[in-house]
Structure 1
Amino acid sequence: MSSRRSRISEEDINELISKLQSLLPDNRRRCRGSIRASAASLLLETCNYIKSLHQEVDDLSNQLSALVETMDFNSAQVELLQSLFLS
């Protein structure tokens, strides 16, 4: 069983690195060292940023759940909330 991998040029890699870097908040961007070192640190920073986003979503979800539990909704309000969260 053989597999063929398409090769990605260094130019393509640099372009992907730039695109990834543009997705990170400004305070997380750092350019230092060689392209490979920059790529490695950029990937590490991206992973850490994604983890922090997951944690933020969890925290906000917990806060929202606690808030919803304390509120008294009528059926129209519940339907509105469900439509907002499910869309």
Structure 2
Amino acid sequence: MSTRRSRSRNPTVSRISDDQINDLVSKLQQLLPEIRTRRSDKVSSSKVLQETCNYIRNLHREVDDLSERLSELLENSDSNQASIIRSLLMQELI
């Protein structure tokens, strides 16, 4: 028996409706700068999901780049400057 069939027969499995999926895709579309700036409001769900994945990958790259730059900055700073930078970062995390 396939997983799909077993899920559909199991009443305890929570199912998400097509309307809920469409609503979530619409919310994602509003968050994506690449799609939000386009003039056409009609974008397929698969395109929105694809762009979401691309956007998240780009954000990960940016975080990695910024982390690397920060590490270099801390390595090249004197101990007082590095201490100040670390304390500022800790304040942002709290």
TM-score, normalised to structure 1's length? 0.71
Q: Which residue of 2 aligns with 1:17?
A: 25
Contact 2:74 2:82 in 1 (8 A): no
Q: Which residue of 1 aligns with 2:3?
A: none
Residue identity (%):
51
For structure 2, the 5+ residue unaligned runs are: 1-6
Deviation at 1:10, TM superposition (A): 1.8
Structure 1 vs Structure 2 CA RMSD: 2.4
TM-score, normalised to structure 2's length? 0.66
Contact 2:25 2:45 in 1 (8 A): yes
How many pairs does the alignment contain? 79
Deviation at 1:73, TM superposition (A): 3.1
Query: In the alignment, is residue 80 of structure 1 matched against residue 84 of structure 2?
Result: yes
Q: Which residue of 2 aligns with 1:71?
A: 77
